Amino acid sequence: MTVLLLIAAGMVAGLAGSLLGVGGGVVLVPLLVLGFKLPVEEAVPASLMCVVAGSCAAAASYVDKRLSDIRLGLTLELATVMGAILGGLVAVYIAPAMVAVVFGLFALYVGLQILLVRSPKGEAVQDRYTPENYPLGVSGSFVAGGLSALLGVGGGPLKVPLMSYGMGVPFKVASATSSLMIGVTGAASVASYAWRGHLKLALVSPLIVGVLAGAHGGSRLMPYVSTAVLKKLFAGLLLVVAVQMLWKGGAGLWPSILK
């Protein structure tokens, strides 16, 4: 039964991740921590492995449909990988409860940003656009890489709004380009966890089966879903996750604060 539940959790994460360009980690980490009662230090590397698998499943479809901006993705990914390597090295020194709180605050901020800030670009993917503000994109991608390693989210929850709102890239293109990048980010992030023995293959295997199926379905569905619906789904998902992770992290930190 547990294996079937893990496959189902992977399918949900893969579907949401490929539709929204977040890799599924923002769904999978809370599911594993809150639903399966796994420690954060095991949930994060498992999620990162699933991010890699989901990216591989979705990216090929997006490149074939010409939704991904390959040149932009390669440029930003260089900074992201450097941040991911650094984040993986320092993750061992940070308390799991603090990681959960950071995750929650991060998801809350991004969700509110999407709901309250209007994108400067039109919604049609076919519109001509030129990415702007590369310094912001590169520095933000470095931070996204660090968060990827610490939180197991692949950097997508930051890179999608970064490209869409900070660089003037249409939302669907930003989502597809993020899906292309997050596999490399996840691979760079998970290496340090695997080296320390925190990667549990018995846990990862059923999750990846579900993620591959969900990501394949999501990549086929995404071109037919309106941008407005995708944004609302993205923001709603992040806000729900934010509340859950802040509660979890706060419960862990509160006793230590009282001492």
For tokens 């547990």, what's the residue?
2
Q: pLDDT tens digit string along 167-208?
A: 888 888 888 888 778 777 777 767 767 777 777 777 888 888
User: What residue ranges do the domains of the chain occupy?
Assistant: 1-258
Judge whether residue 210 has pLDDT over 80.
Answer: yes
pLDDT in tens, 98-123: 777 877 887 787 778 777 766 554 44
The whole-model pTM stands at 0.68
**Whole-number pLDDT of residue 129:** 75
Over residues 121-127, the mean pLDDT reads 48
Q: In the predicted model, is pLDDT for residue 242 greater than 60? A: yes
Question: Does 126 score more than 70 pLDDT?
Answer: no
Model confidence at 125, in pLDDT bands (50, 70, 90)? Answer: very low
Least confident segment among 36-45, 77-86, 185-194: 185-194
CA atoms within 13 A on the CB side of 71: 4
Residue 124 has pLDDT above 70, yes or no: no
User: What whole-number distance in Å separates Cα of residue 77 and Cα of residue 70?
Assistant: 10
Give the chain as a 3 state SS string: CHHHHHHHHHHHHHHHHHHHCCCCHHHHHHHHHHHCCCCHHHHHHHHHHHHHHHHHHHHHHHHHCCCCCHHHHHHHHHHHHHHHHHHHHHHHHCCHHHHHHHHHHHHHHHHHHHHHCCCCCCCCCCCCCCCCCHHHHHHHHHHHHHHHHHHCCCCHHHHHHHHHHHCCCCHHHHHHHHHHHHHHHHHHHHHHHHHCCCCCHHHHHHHHHHHHHHHHHHHHHHHHCCHHHHHHHHHHHHHHHHHHHHHHHHHHHHHHHHC
pLDDT at 253: 66
Average pLDDT, the chain: 76
Q: Which pLDDT score is estimated for 258?
A: 45
